[in-house]
Amino acid sequence: MSTQETRTRIVWDYAPAPESPDHVRLRDSYGLFVNGEFADPKDGTRVPSISPSTEEPVAEVAFAGPEDVRGAIAAARAAQPGWAALSGLERGKYLFRVARLIQERAREMAVVESMDGGKPIRESRDVDVPLAAAHFFHYAGWADKLSYGLAGREAAPLGVAAQIVPWNFPLLMAAWKLAPALACGNTAVLKPAETTPLSALLLAEICQEAELPPGVVQVLPGDGATGAALVRADGIDKVAFTGSTAVGKDIQAALAGTGTSLTLELGGKSANVVFEDAALDQAVEGIVNGIFFNQGHVCCAGSRLLIQESVADVVIGKLWERMGRLRVGDPLDKNTDVGAINSAEQLERIEALVAAGEEEGALRRTVACELPERGWWFAPTIFTEVAPAHRIAVEEIFGPVVSVMTFRTQAEAIEKANNSTYGLAAGIWTDKGSKAFEVASALEAGVVWQNTYNKFDPTAAFGGYKESGFGREGGPAGLRHYVRLS
C-alpha cells in the first residue's frame, strides 16, 4: 500500500473528553432560600430536578407555594430599606464578592449548569458562567456611580423586585436580573425555571458566602404556579420576566393598572441576513453559532436565515457540510457542540413545529448522527424552500432548526427581516460597512450584530421591540428599570 493511500485512509475522530462531575458539591435536597437561609416549603413539596441528557435526577428541590411566596416577599421588604441605606460603594463591594465567588466556583457551576440543563460544557464553561460573573462585576462598578449612568439624575430604588427566569440560561439570566436590581438598592425574589433550578440555588449559597445581608436575595424554585403567584402577590414593586411571549402577555395583563413596574424579555424569530458580498465561510460559522448554540434554545437565535439568491446554493452547501461535522451528545463532553434538549415537553414542541414545516411543504434535511439512547435529543436540521407564511418561518421553534429563505435586493432583505411579530435581534453579513449600517438602522430589532452573532457583553444593552418585549438589560440602560428618577 502506498503512503498516499495510507494517509487518505486515516479517519480523524475525537476521543471522548468528559468533564468529571466528581468535584461538584451538590446537596441531595435544596430548600427555598429566604432571609439568608435555606428553609423547608410550608406544604413540604419537593421535586427532583432531572438531567435532560440522562433522565436521572440530579438533586431534589423544594417548590414554593403561595405562603412561601408571601414569606419571601416579606423578607425582601424588611431587608430593602437597610440595603438601600448602604452607600453605593458598600453595595458594590457585595456584588464584587459575589462575582469573585462565581469565578472561584466556576468549574463546579459550569458542570451543574450542563447536568441540569443539557447545554454543552464548552458553552457553560466559556459563556454562561464567565458572563454571569462579568455582569456582577459590571454592576458592582455602577453601584456608586448611579447618577453617571442615569444622565446625572438622582435615583431611588423601586423596592422589591420579583424576577422570573427561564431554563435556557439559568445562571446567566439570574445574573442579568439580580446584579442591576441590587446595585440600585432593590431587594429581590428570584424564581428559576422548573427544569433548571440548581445553578440559582448555588448562587444562593454564594450569596450566603458573600455575607449578603439576609433578605436581599431570595430564591424560590417552583413551577409556573409559583411564578403566577409571585407576580400577583402584594408587596412587589417591580416584575422582570424572561420567557415565552404567552406568559409575558399574561403577566402584563395581570399587572395592568397596578402601578407595578414591568420589563419583559420574550421570544424572537431573529433574521440572520447574508449578502452576496459577505465572507461566506465566516458567515457559515456565524450561522452555525446563531442557531445551534445552546441547541437553539436562545431567545435571539438566528432562526430565520435570509440569503441573497446569488449565493444561496453555495451558502446552503457549505452550511450543510458544516452541520454534518457538529458533534451531538453528552453535554459534559468537552468536544460536544450540541447538547440535550432541555425537557421532554420542549422536544415535543420542536417535533410538532418540524412536522408542520414538512406538512406545509418546506424541504427538511436533518443531520444523520447517532443519538444517545436515554435523554432528549434533536439533531441539527435545516429547512429550505420555506415560504414566509410557513409556521417554521413565523413561530419560535427554540430548537436546533434553521429556516432558510432567499432575497434579491437589499430592500427585499429588510422587508423580509422585519416581517415578524417579534423584534429581538438580527445579524448582517456583508463586507460593505455602509450597507451594514444602512440595513442595521432599518431593521426592527433590539440588537443587530454585524459579521458576528450571539455576542453578549455586560456593557451592552439587550432587549426587544414588538412582541419580543420591552425594557433593556445590560449596561447603564439596565439600571434605568430598577430606579425611580427625580
| Stretch of residues binding ligand NDP (CB under 6 A), selected from 117-125, 159-167, 412-420, 477-485 | 159-167
Instruction: Kindly list the catalytic residues.
Output: 265, 299
Q: Which of 93, 224, 385, 412 binds ligand NDP (CB under 6 A)?
A: 224
AA letter at 275: F
CB-nearer residue toward ligand NDP: 19 or 467: 467
Does residue 162 touch ligand NDP according to CB under 6 A? no
Does residue 131 touch ligand NDP according to CB under 6 A? no
Instruction: Give the C-alpha separation, 338 to 326, whole Å.
Output: 7
Does residue 398 touch ligand NDP according to CB under 6 A? yes
The site that binds ligand NDP (CB under 6 A) totals a number of residues, namely 26
CB-nearer residue toward ligand NDP: 102 or 251: 251
Q: Which of 70, 145, 322, 349 binds ligand NDP (CB under 6 A)?
A: 349
- C-alpha pair distances (Å), 336 with each of 48, 288, 296, 370: 26, 14, 14, 13
Of residues 244-283, which lie at the interface with ligand NDP (CB under 6 A)?
A: 244, 247, 250-251, 266-267
Does residue 168 touch ligand NDP according to CB under 6 A? yes
CB-nearer residue toward ligand NDP: 383 or 398: 398
Name the residue number minimizing CB distance to ligand NDP.
227
Does residue 65 touch ligand NDP according to CB under 6 A? no
Q: Which of 119, 177, 191, 304 binds ligand NDP (CB under 6 A)?
A: 191
Does residue 400 touch ligand NDP according to CB under 6 A? no
Does residue 299 touch ligand NDP according to CB under 6 A? yes
CB of 38 to ligand NDP, least distance (A): 19
Residues near ligand NDP, by CB under 6 A: 164-168, 191, 193-194, 223-224, 227-228, 231, 242-244, 247, 250-251, 266-267, 299, 346, 349, 396, 398
